[in-house]
Amino acid sequence: MERELALEFVRVTEAAAIASGHLIGRGDKNGADQLAVDGMRSMLDTVHIRGTVVIGEGEMDEAPMLYIGEKVGAGDGDAVDIAVDPLEGTNLVAKGTAGAIAVMAVAPEGHLLHAPDMYMEKIVTGAAGVGIVHLDASIEENLRALAHATGRDVRELTVVMLDRERHEETIVRIRALGSRVKLISDGDVSPAVAACLPGSGVDMLIGSGGAPEGVIAAAAVKCLGGEMQARLIPEDDTQLERLHSMGVRDAQHILTVDDLVKGDDAVYVATGITGGDLLKGVQYGPGVCTTHSIVMRSLSGTVRYVTAQHRISAKS
């Protein structure tokens, strides 16, 4: 992909964040999501790509825009796969709580896994965990191995997880070992990124979450040289058939970061909507707003933080 495209994609997530940010704390998660979709979709058409949405708002009959298979972009330039979540954390925006982002991942055509809308078991660490942790190892084995690899005591490690009943046993075991647990209410893309960034205060993400979000996170993990392993979790025969249609015959098959995002040229872009650990939220002022974004590219290994000020029309 052309190098300049990475910064063009920042404009796309900025547009989604600015649009949906007007509904922060107003209890309207569906309205906020629709504003994010509208903002992202309109800006995508200004980018010189021949894009196909491989992870989006749903199937064609479920979503009027950013549906799976939709062609986006100006219609010229590189042919790319696009995975989008215009508003990761709809509940976070509705409640005005931290952590909501507008996010997308981009790779050359055919390089992003077309993950179905099902659960995915995940483990993510930074570079120190490459070849060290394993999805089928116990949480105790993984934490001890990561502590040894980083030269730290296991009690210094922090694991981030979605606060769900299905994770309760693992949470108890992590705490019994002496490690810290950071529980999140929604959205596991940003925490997966944090697990790969030195100084973020997070050392590992573990547990089950959405498969589409897993692919988006994998693009960031690849850019940061981290470790990620995943396994799709079909819950019924329909989901199992979808798995088989993807060529995954064994439901126990472990997907590596290279299975989720092929090749060495992926781009990950996110803009904060409500402030979180990695990104500030959209800040509105008289006639202007300020956005904070992160953009990374695996081919060059660059990570850029982008602060931008935008002129906007008055909104209630």
Number of structural domains (the chain) is 2
288-297 and 302-311: which strand pairing?
Answer: antiparallel
* 188 domain-assigned: yes
Q: How many CB atoms lie within 10 A of CB 25?
A: 12
Which string of DSSP letters, residue by residue, matches 193-218? Answer: HHHHSTTSS--EEEEEEEHHHHHHHH
Q: Average pLDDT for residues 194-210, to the nearest whole number?
A: 96
Cα 77 from Cα 286, distance rounded (Å): 37
Same domain, 191 and 282: no
Tell me: do 53 and 129 sit in the same domain. Answer: no
Comparing 58-72, 76-90, 271-285, the range with the smallest average pLDDT is 58-72
Residues 281 and 254 in one domain: no
Mean pLDDT score, 193-207: 96
Domain membership of residue 225 (yes or no) is: yes
Contacts of 95 (CB under 8 A, 6+ apart): 25, 27
pLDDT at 51: 97
Please, are residues 84 and 56 in contact by the beta-carbon 8 Å criterion?
yes
**Angle in degrees, 0-180, between the axes of helices 168-177 and 139-150, rounded to the nearest 10:** 40
Residue 241 has pLDDT above 90, yes or no: no
Mean pLDDT, range 244-249, rounded to an integer: 74
- Indicate the SS3 state at residue 122: strand
Mean pLDDT value of segment 30-57? 96
Instruction: Read off the pTM.
Output: 0.94
DSSP 179: -
CATH number at residue 149: 3.40.190.90
Res. 2 pLDDT band, cuts 50 70 90: confident
What is the rounded average pLDDT for all residues in the chain? 94
CA 9/CA 18 separation, integer angstroms = 14
Which are the contacts of 132, defined by CB distance < 8 A and separation ≥ 6?
125, 145, 146, 149, 227
Choosing from 260, 277, 292, the residue where a domain stops is 260
How confident is the model over 99-153, as pLDDT tens digits?
Answer: 999 999 999 999 999 888 899 999 999 999 999 999 999 999 999 999 999 999 9
For residues 311 and 18, the answer to whether their CB atoms sit within 8 Å is no
Q: What does the pLDDT read at residue 314?
A: 57
Quote the domain boundaries for residue 274.
5-109+266-311
Q: Given this model, what pLDDT does residue 59 score?
A: 84
* Residue, of 6 and 316, whose pLDDT is higher: 6
Q: What is the pLDDT of residues 279-293, one digit of tens each?
A: 999 999 999 999 999
Does residue 277 carry a pLDDT above 90? no
Cα(292)–Cα(271) distance, integer angstroms? 6
Give the position of tokens 């660059």.
Answer: 302
Shared-domain flag, residues 210 and 255: yes
